[in-house]
Amino acid sequence: MSYHYTEAATLLALLVYAGVTCNAAMARARYKVKAPAVTGDENFERAYRVQMNTLEQLALFLPSMWLYAITLTDVGAAVGGLIWVIGRLIYAFSYIRDPASRSAGFGIAFVAAVGLFLGAAYGVIRAMI
């Protein structure tokens, strides 16, 4: 079985993470927040929180998407992955602009990750029975 769609969704998710990581690094330089400090200028802190929250969410999202692909369907996993990517992009742009506006993007990505997790759990249990 091939997983080309899930592979593409994985690359998109990693591209999003690379982008928010670069944004945090540029903000660190722009606002002169010297490592290892993670506080200072509020604009840096926003960029840093976007990066860290995205990293935190990857821990649930990526394994769930891959287990979904392996036990159910490649296309379904990739669709969930694409929804997660869109949600994370909305989250990132919203949080950078105004942290209070981050809820929609967070919610979209979180629902996608939970859906993938539940689908993966169903797929694993089904395969065991």
Structural domain tally of the chain?
1
For residue 82, give its domain range.
4-123
Please check the confidence at residue 1 and state whether its pLDDT lies above 90: no
% of the chain residues with pLDDT over 90:
99
Residue 14 counted as domain residue: yes
Residue 109 counted as domain residue: yes
Residue 43 counted as domain residue: yes
Residue 60 counted as domain residue: yes
Q: What is the CATH number of the domain that holds 73?
A: 1.20.120.550
Residue 33 counted as domain residue: yes
Per-residue pLDDT reduced to its tens digit, 4-39: 999 999 999 999 999 999 999 999 999 999 999 999
What radius of gyration do the chain's Cα atoms show? 16
Please check the confidence at residue 94 and state whether its pLDDT lies above 90: yes
Residue 129 counted as domain residue: no
Residue 46 counted as domain residue: yes
For Cα atoms 22, 25, 28, give the angle at the middle one, nearest 5 degrees. 150
Average pLDDT, the chain: 98
